[in-house]
Amino acid sequence: MKIFFNLLLAISTFLFFQPAWGAEPIEEARAVFVKMVTAAKANDIEGFKSHILPRDLAEMEKEGATQMVMMMMAEDNPAIFHAEAGKGHIIFTHEIKEEGPGSSSSMKKIVYMIKHEGQWKFGTPQ
Confidence of residue 15 (pLDDT cuts 50, 70, 90): very low
Q: Return the higher-pLDDT residue of 125 and 23.
A: 125
pLDDT at 93: 98
Residue 126, pLDDT above cutoff 90: no
Of 23, 20, 49, 25, nearest to 35 (Cα)? 49
> Could you tell me which residues are beta bridge partners of residue 116?
119
Q: What is the mean pLDDT of residues 13-27?
A: 55
Which amino acid does the sequence have at 54? Answer: P
Domain of residue 96, CATH code: 3.10.450
Helix (H, G, I), strand (E, B) or coil at 48: helix
E-strand spans in 26-88?
82-86
Residue-wise pLDDT tens digits, 49-91? 999 999 999 999 999 999 999 999 999 999 999 999 988 899 9
CA separation for the pair 123, 28 (Å, rounded): 15
* pLDDT over threshold 60, residue 21: no
Query: Which domain does 69 fall in, by range?
Result: 2-122
Q: In total, how many domains does the chain have?
A: 1
Determine the average pLDDT of the residues in 103-113: 93
The arithmetic mean of pLDDT across residues 41-50, rounded, is: 97
Nearest one of 86, 89, 81, 61 to 3, comparing CA atoms: 61
Integer CA distances (angstroms), 12 to 1, 59, 107, in order: 17, 22, 9
